[in-house]
Chains A and B, each alone.
Chain A
Amino acid sequence: MVEIKKISFEDSTSAIKKLPCLKNISLETFEGKITSFIAPKNSGKSLLLKIIAGIEAPSSGEIVNIGGKKIVYIPGKSSSFPWLNVYENVSFGLRKPDVVEIKRIINLVGLEGYEKHRPNNKSYGFRFRISLARSLAQNPSLILLDDPFSQMDDISKKEIFQLVRLVSKNSKVCFLLASSNITEALFLSDKIYLMKINPLEIFHEEDIKFAGERKVSLLKSKKFIQLCSQFYNLIKLKDPQNLFNISI
């Protein structure tokens, strides 16, 4: 489990006025569960994830990584290296790659038979699978997903939704998804935080529960659509100026 406690960040690059970007953000993630936060585009979601991953430093606050394992960040744009094949991509960054484990992970994300293929000229869905497999190969405690579905087509998106749910359920990894799309966050998550900007801060949190397994048909259910509208109205109420930067 990883706990994010009161993270704040101020923009130190602005010489005239320091603009607070993130304010007192506390999030909880749980083993085998997906936590999401919904915030408008260009609001500092990536920055928050980079702080959690240890790539950027916060102005204040702390990240409590109870398991002590790695926190892995998957960027929004394709980050699988085009000069490496699938197997090499998945084992990238490992000092002593375990061949059997890597093959298991490749099979788990649905890339069996593609080990020697390179990701250039492949779909976003294919490249996301590689990034996910590479993250799992690091045996992490938390995987951070930075709005990864925005560039995928609808068919790939639905396949990847199912895959991420399956992986989170079967592994003991926590997932934290940053999204500006209510539907995808709601479908994937066990817990959702809503955020507003200037500065980026949480104004609402809610546990998400649906009866039974989450299948694509859930997206068309009455309860799901109602919940989407409920979240949309909440954002409309709290952060109306940025509503156009949220999709449903």
Chain B
Amino acid sequence: MAERNKELKNSFKLILTILFVYVVLFEFILPVNKFLPKPSILFESIFYIINDYNLFISISVSFTIVIVAFVVAYIGVYVRAPYLLRWLTRYKESFTTLNVFRYFLIIVVVILIKQWFEETLFWEFFFATLFVFILSLKKLFDKIENVKDEYVVVGKNLGLTDMEISEDIHWKYLQPVLIGYYEKLNISLWSIILVFEFIGDTNGLGHAFHKALVYKDLNAIILFSFILFVLVWVTTFIIKVIKRKYFNWAD
């Protein structure tokens, strides 16, 4: 508990320090520069930016897609976990060959999806969910070897079937590993979502970034970057809390 509070305090300290340095540096020391806007001007323009860029809706769209993609992909893995794990162990060799796809740039896949399908929130959500689902499977595949042999031996000795071993031992063992991985995957998912929205230019925070770049609105870009930083931090924090509360049995 004390460690958790310390981590939270450190994060707040970091955010406050960055804000403090920004205010001092660009308000008082370098008020006129080509890099960042003056904090007071940025503060004054916040309400205009929120209105002009429909910011609340954009944030809600991106944030909802990230969270729902995680939840739906996890439920997808959860529902089929015993079958998937059996399948992963059975077709280990052929699954390894799929690793070749890591050389494909995700941005190419995004552009292709955009070419193939209409620009709708559904496809954005579908793409995000598929991204998390596939990477979840890959993680399970990579980590299934780490399931302690003694647990499986005990399961076999007590007369569990292969399916029961997959469900009650492999899957249980891998759950905290998977949720821990989501902490890291979160950043990649946000990047992918932003790229998707940036190229599509119709929904979400990526769309707002696109508009701000077109208008060369530096104030808006800075504000969106800060909001993005906070959103990523909040999502990571939510995943961490869920892991600590519900998946805290790692050895």
> Which residues of A line the B interface, CB within 8 A?
50, 53-55, 70, 72-73, 75-79, 81-83, 92-93, 118, 120, 131, 138
Contacts and interface: CB of A to CB of B under 8 A. Distances in A.
B56 to A, nearest CB: 40
Contacts of B249: 82-83, 118, 120
A201 B231 CA distance: 65
Nearest to B158: A93
B195 to A, nearest CB: 37
Given A92-B158, A93-B159, A120-B250, A81 B153 contact: no
Interface residues of B, number: 20
11 contacts: A53-B157, A54-B157, A55-B157, A72-B158, A77-B148, A78-B251, A79-B148, A82-B249, A83-B249, A118-B249, A120-B249
Contacts of B149: 75
A93 B153 CA distance: 13
Contacts of A138: 158
B44 interface: no
Contact of A83 (B150, B156, B158, B172): B172
Contact of B172 (A54, A73, A81): A81
Nearest to B176: A83
Interface string B143-172: 000001111011111111000000011001
B160 to A, nearest CB: 6
Contacts of B153: 50, 55, 73, 75, 79
A79 B149 CA distance: 9
Given A54-B157, A93-B155, 18 more contacts: A53-B157, A55-B153, A73-B154, A73-B157, A75-B150, A75-B153, A76-B150, A78-B251, A79-B148, A79-B150, A79-B154, A82-B249, A83-B173, A83-B175, A118-B249, A120-B250, A120-B251, A138-B158
